[in-house]
Structure 1
Amino acid sequence: MQKFQLQGINHLALVCKDFEVTMSFYRDTLGLPLLKVLDLPSGGKHFFFGIGNGDCLAFFWSSKAPNAIPGISSVKLDAFLTGDIITAQGSMNHVAFNVPLEKLEEYRKKLISQGVQATPLLHHADVPGGLVSKPDHTTFMSSFYFFDPNGILLEFAANLRSFA
């Protein structure tokens, strides 16, 4: 029984290291609409991008914020070479955006053409190791991963069937 009437995610708030670079990546490279920018009393900013269905991806920026520590507070940039995608307890590992299945490879190529490094398409499945080389009856999602300029791991994902 559901104890609260949750209606999705209002916004996910992350912390960025460079306001202008983050704005450019999410607005210009990913094409997300910038919905709001708030000036904070500390001199920082809090800004929101629309990601569909009324949901937002938000960022805090402050020149006073400490640097992330890859491998602890975020995924290491070499994660897909080493296989080490573990982050600290209470940290965020990655953000996955829903996209249409038929657009996955197109979007991957578009990002690569804009200088963004992306993994090959991955097919997540109910098998030991969690991946198959080609989608089959065990596959529940296809996706690819890439990093934003802050070192935040992002994923474009398409569900092939429900998780249940």
Structure 2
Amino acid sequence: MVNTEFHDREDGWIKHVFFDSGNGQCIAFFAFENIGERSDWTTDVSESLGVPVFINHAAFEATEEMQESVRARMEAEGIQPTMEIDHGWCYSLYYLDPNQVLVELCRDTKGMPINKKEAARLLVAPTATSA
């Protein structure tokens, strides 16, 4: 954690918390209470919208050493990866954070294949079978 801002509101509060995500970049999260949120709100972004948990997730670049260090620390706490996928061009470990948001630690293996023409064609394909 590199910074936290705290703001009192009329009947509640907001905390804006910043974490170092490497390479001079940060990722920030909010914690709040009584700022106008609905009583039935939840933090599980994907599943609360009715889609699988992997649809909305945060991905971070990782080395093999970083992945294995995280795996060891998580296993020491009794936490197993939610998913572990060899995508062919990268290898990813996925964990659910305390708010049920999926976090991906992605290690390049062969590098993402670049085919701009095929990517554009698939982007507008109406279904996988028509691709």
Q: TM-score, normalized by length of structure 1?
A: 0.54
Change (3 A) 1:96 1:162: same
Q: Which has the larger strand fraction?
A: 2
Counterpart Cα distance in 1 of 2:31 and 2:57 = 19
Q: SS where residue 104 of structure 1 aligns?
A: helix
Q: SS where residue 150 of structure 1 aligns?
A: coil
Q: Which segments of structure 1 move beyond 3 Å, counting only runs of 4 or more?
A: 84-87
Q: Counterpart of 1:158?
A: 107
Q: Counterpart of 2:72?
A: 109
CA contact (8 A) 1:36 1:49 kept: yes
What amino acid does structure 2 have at the position aligned with 1:60? Answer: F
What amino acid does structure 2 have at the position aligned with 1:104? Answer: Q
Q: Counterpart of 1:144?
A: 93
Counterpart Cα distance in 1 of 2:110 and 2:98 = 32
CA contact (8 A) 1:105 1:121 kept: no
Q: Counterpart of 2:129?
A: none
Q: Which runs of 5+ in 1 are unaligned?
A: 1-33, 88-92, 125-138
Q: Percent identity?
A: 29
Q: 2:46 aligned with 1:74, yes or no? A: yes
Q: TM-score, normalized by length of structure 2?
A: 0.66
Q: Which runs of 5+ in 2 are unaligned?
A: 115-131
Count of residue pairs brought into register by the alignment: 104
The CA RMSD measured in Å over matched residues stands at 2.4
- Rg larger for: 2
